[in-house]
Amino acid sequence: MKFLLSLFIATALAAGAVSAAHAADTDSWVVRFGAHTINPQSDNGHLAGMKASIDSDTKPTASLEYLFAPSWGVEVLAALPFKHEIKLDGQKVASTKQLPPVLGVNYHFMPDAQVSPFVGAGINYTRFFSTKGEGLLQGAKVKIDNSWGAAAHAGVDVKLSERWLLTADVRWIGIKGDVHVDGANVGTAKVNPWVYGLSFGYRF
């Protein structure tokens, strides 16, 4: 993780240098608004010896990308909080909310084409909050540790006009956190979701 952090600090510094060199350039920013569905992996691990499952959720999202070269961009993804139910052996035991912002670098294969595929990689920090026991754990104090993880990104931009575009993308995000019930560690929740999204973008 230290290597990834160092890589992104270096990338950000490089982007700043290129930005200064091309300060007069226009159309270097792309803002996107849309929605994404977080679909946790099928095997979410075991908590207190029982099989855990975490449901999916869909929320509005926004991203901002700075193109520091024709094919290269630095992007930040944000969203409204996602909410998930947690079950153990099929029985609901808790619910939680999480914010999973992602900072990444994208490579656009054909930046000037009508249809331009891209791939990317980045880092994610997920903050879990408003976690509470329900069902079997009603009244219990439940806490999930925040998470750092890698992220992968792929998608396609479709130009609708000179400035407007439609983006379809998919991400994989490494998310997992230790779960505590009344202060006791009962295991690790492995979310590691695939994230599917559709958004409209504006280049300026």
- Angle subtended at Cα 95 by Cα 99 and Cα 46, rounded to the nearest 5 degrees: 95
> CA–CA separation, 164 vs 187, rounded Å?
46
Residue 5 falls inside a structural domain: no
Instruction: Give the per-residue pLDDT at 42.
Output: 85
- pTM for the predicted model, two decimal places: 0.83
CATH of the domain at 67: 2.40.160.20
Instruction: Give the per-residue pLDDT at 195.
Output: 98
The pLDDT of residue 27 is above 50: yes
Please count the structural domains in the chain.
Answer: 1
Q: How far is CA 117 from CA 38, 105, 107, 154, 169, in A?
A: 21, 14, 9, 8, 9
User: Quick one: average pLDDT of 132-150?
Assistant: 95
Residue 3 falls inside a structural domain: no
Instruction: Give the per-residue pLDDT at 18.
Output: 45
Burial (0-12, 13-18, 19+ Cβ within 10 Å), 122: buried
Residue 11 falls inside a structural domain: no
Residue 154 falls inside a structural domain: yes
Domain range enclosing 63: 32-203
pLDDT digits (tens, 9 = 90+) for 96-132: 999 999 999 999 999 999 999 999 999 999 999 999 9
Residue 27 falls inside a structural domain: no
Task: For residue 182, give the DSSP letter.
Answer: T
The pLDDT of residue 2 is above 50: no
Residue 105 falls inside a structural domain: yes
DSSP per-residue string spanning 12-68:
HHHHHHHHHHTTT--S-EEEEEEEEEEE--S---EETTEEEEE--EEEEEEEEEEES
